[in-house]
Amino acid sequence: MFALSLILVIALVAASPQPRMTHAPPHSWGNGPVRGVNIGGWLVLEPWITPSLFDGKPDWVRDETTYAKYQLGQPQPYSEIGHHWDTWITYDDFAKIADSGLNTVRIPVGFWSLIPLVDGEVFMVGAFEHLKKAVGWAKAVGLQVMLDLHGAPGGQNTWDNSGMAGVIHWYDDTRNLDRTTAALNVLMREFNRNEWAGTVTSICVLNEPNPHLSPVPAPLDFLKTFYHAAYGLIRDQSPATPAGGGIVVVLSEAYQSLEHWRGFMPAPQYQRVALDWHSYHMFEDRTLALSFEDHIKEYCGLVPQLVNSDDNLWTIVGEFTAAPTDCAGWAHNGAAAKWHAGLGSVMATPNDCASISGNPSSWTPAYRDYLTQSWETQTWVYEKAQGWVAWCWKTEAAADWSLEAGFDGGWLTRPRDLADGKRKFGVPCRGLSFENTFSDRRSSARRPATHSIALAAGGAALVALWTPHV
């Protein structure tokens, strides 16, 4: 009887659905492209990603700090955010990300989740435990993690993604610099442990600082001082090794231009440093007016400057999207959306945002093709440097910004297919006014080998688009 019962149990287990363990493809910095996605709207709130957390609240609730001020006055202040942290991103998301062929997740976190609050700061604290859980999920499925300090004390850019819309006081006081390095130290003390070796491979020391917006004297010098302090902190705990070890220190381009950073933190004195640039086409009137074909040409025209920058510091496009507009609710930092004039011919209802950012079933075939070719072109271009991390994995309503929705719906080609050269529109950037000729050369001790591009005469104009993510 026991033997029969055992046979029945084995048969039932074999017949029941078993979870499929998927592993991300292997990757190492300097040897093969980063192909990643941002885990946006989870541990740092952005109203356009999860509008349900902001709908029905007063108009002044528009970022992390105002959300906290409102919620802390409610009878159960943490019930809503706790449910969000528990359910918006789960292990299943990480398994699905790995299965798609992505190799990296960039996880934004705010300083308020890492160090004590002071001077009347108001935030919902407690996300750090969820960050640790997420890194465990990444390890389980073979994904590498780029930790991203998305918000700094005092606010570094005035945007809601910093946690404080309309505020830019980070550059005002060296105490903010000290507290920001303290937040990085918390990340290092946890994620530099042997348990996470090979999983946490890079840290973006500060997301999208914008010195242009600060009224204080020499804000860029302040930022560079911080960059040196952050590098020293990380390198002291994670030395670079001849074999290529050591957490990569990722610096934001900070709206200065890639060329501005030439010669900054040069090898061999500095090792394993990367420059993070963000590429968006929906925040300037000029780019909003471009035709679809002109958008593609501008993406292709970025190749030379990305390659040149990568020969200076490893260069990665840490945020971008296939979406051409800011039609998602709240997307333009709470401002009204601007219609993408160049898209009129491919939309079912021109000048109607609801026809593109909502239900994909209302999209025209031409718009789906637009998203596909934009995605295939951008990923191809950015892999001429160190690669890319798309914004973002999932959204509540803005499907054209969601990688999960795009992979499931078929308008975004999965990275595993991109890696095999399977693109709906073939090899991008063919037939333009330049040809790309790749040659192997050793540029510095910073990487064992890099690729550079020699451009034929009459190359496409270089275009730099310095715009925030949303």
Residue 172: predicted pLDDT: 97
Q: Which of 18-32, 122-136, 456-470 has the lowest mean pLDDT?
A: 456-470
pLDDT band, residue 465 (cuts 50/70/90): very low
The 10 Å CB-count burial string (b at 16+, else e) for 374-407 is bbbbbbbbbbbbbbbbbbbbbbbbbbbbbbbbbb
Q: 90 or 349: which carries more pLDDT confidence?
A: 90
pLDDT at 250 over 80: yes
Largest Cα separation within the chain, whole Å, is 84
* pLDDT higher than 50, residue 387: yes
Question: Quick one: pLDDT band at residue 347, thresholds 50, 70, 90?
Answer: low
pLDDT computed for residue 7 by the predictor = 43
Handedness of CA 279, 282, 284, 289 (dihedral sign): positive
Determine the average pLDDT of the residues in 417-439: 75
Residue 314 has pLDDT above 90, yes or no: yes
Catalogue all structural domains in the chain, each as residue range(s) with its CATH number: 18-455 (3.20.20.80)
Q: Bigger pLDDT: 172 or 287?
A: 172
Whose structure tokens read 């740092």?
Answer: 44
User: In the chain, what percentage of residues exceed pLDDT 70?
Assistant: 80
pLDDT at 445: 35
Residues with catalytic function: 208, 319
Q: Which residues of 62-79 are buried (b: 16+ CB within 10 A; e: fewer)?
A: bbbbbbbebbeeeeeeee
Q: Which residue has the higher pLDDT, 398 or 263?
A: 263
- Is there a cis peptide before residue 392, judged by omega within 30 degrees of 0? yes
pLDDT higher than 60, residue 436: no
The confidence score (pLDDT) of residue 210 equals 97
pLDDT band with cut points at 50, 70 and 90 for residue 447? very low
pLDDT average, residue stretch 338-347: 57
- Both tokens of residue 223? 């930022």
- Give percent above pLDDT 90 in the chain: 70
Residue 332 CB neighbour total at 10 angstroms:
19
pLDDT at residue 291 tops 50? yes
Contact between 205 and 249 under an 8 Å Cβ cutoff? The reply is yes
Is it the case that residue 464 has pLDDT exceeding 50? no
**Mean pLDDT lowest among 65-74, 164-173, 201-210, 457-466:** 457-466
Alpha-carbon distance 190 to 257, whole Å? Answer: 33
Q: What is the pLDDT of residues 70-112, one digit of tens each?
A: 999 999 999 999 999 999 999 999 999 999 999 999 999 999 9
Q: Mind listing the pLDDT tens digit for each residue in 24-73?
A: 888 888 888 999 999 999 999 999 899 999 999 999 999 999 999 999 99
Query: For residues 163 and 153, what is the distance between their CA atoms, to the nearest angstrom?
Result: 9
Tell me how far CA of residue 268 lies from CA of 29, 313, 406, in angstroms. 17, 12, 42
What gap in Å lies between CA 73 and CA 51, rounded to an integer?
20
How much is the pLDDT for 284? 78
What single-letter DSSP state applies at residue 89? Answer: S
Confidence of residue 288 (pLDDT cuts 50, 70, 90): confident
Of 125-139, 226-240, 320-334, the one with minimum mean pLDDT is 320-334
- Residue 408 confidence (pLDDT): 97
Per-residue pLDDT at 434: 43
pLDDT at position 54 is 93
At 232 the pLDDT is 98
Using one digit for the tens of pLDDT, what is the confidence trace for 145-177? Answer: 999 999 999 999 999 999 999 999 999 999 999
Q: What is the pLDDT of residue 117?
A: 98
pLDDT at 409 over 80: yes
